[in-house]
Amino acid sequence: MGKIILEKIINGSLKIAKEEILLENNFVKRQLNNGIKIFAQPTKKYTTTTVKVFIHQDLEDDIVTKTSLLPFVLKRGCMRFPSEQKMRVYLEELYGTGFGVDIIKKGERHILVFEMDIVNEKFLPDKNNILKDGLSLLRDIILDPFIENGGFSKDYMNQEKDILKREIMSLFNNKMQYAVERCFQEMCRDERYSLYKYGKIEKLGEIDEKNLYEYYLDLVNSNPIDIYIMGDIDLDKDLSIIEEIFDFSRGKVKSIKPTFVNKEVTEERVFFERQKVEQGKLSLGLRTYTTYSDPDYYPFLMANGILGGGPHSKLFQNVREKASLAYYVFSRIEKTKGLMLITSGIEVDNYEKALNIIKKQIDDLKSGNITDYEIDSTRKMLINAFKEASDNPSLVISLYLDGYINNREESIEDMIRQIQTVNKEEIIKVSQKLKLDTIYFLTNKEVGKAGKQ
C-alpha cells in the first residue's frame, strides 16, 4: 500500500524521529523527540490548511469535569493575547483564520481538541508567513495560556464554569439526546463509558483556578499529543515549521488505557424514567462485540445501515412508514466501544408495539432476512457518505483519528473499497453477535415493570 521512508539525520540537527511512513492518499507520520506525533496530508483539494491538535486523556470520574473545562478556559487568552477580543483581532489580521476548541469522547478516551483553519498563502496577494503565524498562535494558546497569580484567570474560570454548567443542564431539555445519554449510562453503569463528556455539575465546585492550572501542567507534560495538518502544504518546509514551534521539553508520555469492550450480556434490562414529556423516547442499547479494530467491522457497518441507517432501512420502513409508530427512528454505532444504539420518538401508549417491531427487525437482520435492495441502498449510502467526507478536511482527520486510536490506519479510498466487497453472508455472520443489553424509555406515565422509575 505504501512505502517506508527513512529520514536522514544530518549532524543531529533535526529533532524529528527517524522513521516516517508515507501512505498513498493518506497521512505522513512523524514523531518529535518530546513524543508529540505529527500527521500530515498534502493535498491541493482545499484552499485552506486545516490544523487540529488532540490531547488525549483517560475518561475517568475524578478528572472528567476538569478535562472538559480545560479547552474552554485555554481559548480565553494566552500571555501574548490575554483576551479573546485581542485574539480575534489578530486572527482577522491573519486573513480571517478560524479557531475553535472542543471536547470529544471516543470509546473510553477523552480528547481535548484545538482547531485552526488557515488560508493558504498561495492564494494571497503577497508572500507571508501566515501558516507559521497561525501555528505560533495555536502553540501559545495551548502551551502559554494567560496566567495570573499562579493560576488561570479567576474571572475566566468562573465564566467558563458557568457556561459548562449550563451546557450540562441543557442536556435535560434535549429529550432525544437525553434519552440516548441515559440509555448509555444505564447500559454502561459500571464502565467508564457511562461518563458524560462534559462532566458533572457537582464536580465544578471542586475546581478552582489553581488546581485546574496544576492539572493542565501535568496534562501537557505527560499526555499524548497529536498534531494533524491537511492542505496544500510542503512536507519538508511546513513540517519543519511545526517541529520548530512545538519543540519543548516534556516528561515521559503516558499510555491511554484501552477501552473495555467485551462485557457479557446475561439478561435484557429495562429502565423507565418519568418526566413531563409530550413524546416518549425509546432507546435500545446493544453490545456488538465488534469494533473498528476488528476484521469484520465493515460488514457490521453495512449491518447497521441496513437496520437503521436511512430511509431504506428496516427500522425506518417498518416502524415509521408501515406501522406509523415513530416520529423518528434510527440506529447508530460507537465503533471504539463496540456499542449500537437504536433510538426513536413514539407515543407513550405505543411502547409495547414499537418495542416488539424494533426487536423483530433485529431478529430479521440476524436471521438473514435481508433484501438485495437493502444491501445495495446501504452500500450506496455509505460510499456517498465517505465521498462527501473526503471534501471536508476536518471529517477526514476525524476518520483517520478513529483509525489511529483503533490501530487501523486507512484512507477513505480504503474504506470505500472495503464497503464495496462486503457480501450478505458476512453481514449475517457479524449481525449474529448482536445482544440486546438495555431498554430505556423516557415516558410521562407508568407503562410497565422496569428496573427504575
**DSSP calls for 203-233:** HHTT--HHHHHHHHHHHHHHS-EEEEEEES-
Give the pLDDT score at 11.
28
- Among 67, 83, 85, 87, smallest CA distance to 164 is for 67
Joined together, the cell numbers standing for residue 47 give 484552499
Give the pLDDT score at 373.
98
Pairing of strands 435-443, 269-274: parallel
Q: Looking at the structure, give the CATH architecture of the domain made up of residues 269-443.
A: 2-Layer Sandwich (3.30)
Are 56 and 226 contacting, i.e. CB atoms less than 8 angstroms apart? yes
CA distance 285 to 340: 6
Give the pLDDT score at 453.
38
CATH code of the region 2-245: 3.30.830.10
Give the pLDDT score at 125.
77
Q: Which helix (H) or strand (E) holds 403?
A: helix 393-405
Angle 36-42-48 from CA coordinates, rounded to 5°: 95
CA distance 250 to 34: 6
CA distance 264 to 58: 23
CA distance 285 to 342: 7
Angle 257-386-421 from CA coordinates, rounded to 5°: 90
DSSP-assigned beta bridge partners for residue 23: 2
DSSP state of 324: -
Hey, which bits of 388-452 come out as E strands? 435-443
Give the pLDDT score at 26.
79
DSSP state of 129: -
Burial (Cβ within 10 Å: 0-12, 13-18, ≥19) of residue 418: middle
Joined together, the cell numbers standing for residue 143 give 502551551
The reported pTM is 0.91
Are 186 and 440 contacting, i.e. CB atoms less than 8 angstroms apart? yes
Q: What is the mean pLDDT of the chain?
A: 92
Are 449 and 442 contacting, i.e. CB atoms less than 8 angstroms apart? no
DSSP state of 235: H
From first to last of its 453 residues, what are the pLDDT tens digits of the chain? Answer: 332 222 322 223 333 343 343 344 579 999 999 999 999 999 999 999 999 999 999 999 999 999 999 999 999 999 999 999 999 999 999 999 999 999 999 999 999 999 999 998 888 877 678 999 999 999 999 999 999 999 999 999 999 999 999 999 999 999 999 999 999 999 999 999 999 999 999 999 999 999 999 999 999 999 999 999 999 999 989 999 999 999 999 999 999 999 999 999 999 999 999 999 999 999 999 999 999 999 999 999 999 999 999 999 999 999 999 999 999 999 999 999 999 999 999 999 999 999 999 999 999 999 999 999 999 999 999 999 999 999 999 999 999 999 999 999 899 999 999 999 999 999 999 999 999 999 999 999 877 554 443
Give the pLDDT score at 25.
58
Give the pLDDT score at 13.
30
Q: Domain map of the chain by residue range?
A: 2-245, 269-443
DSSP reduced 3-state for 261: coil
CA distance 273 to 168: 19
Give the pLDDT score at 8.
25
Give the pLDDT score at 449.
53
Cell numbers 407508568 label which residue? 446
CA distance 426 to 421: 10
Where b means 16+ CB within 10 Å and e means fewer, 131-151 reads: bbbbbebbbbbbeebbbeeeb
Give the pLDDT score at 126.
75
Sign of CA dihedral 316, 319, 321, 326: negative
Are 270 and 439 contacting, i.e. CB atoms less than 8 angstroms apart? yes
- Among 379, 401, 402, 403, smallest CA distance to 312 is for 379
CA distance 221 to 254: 10
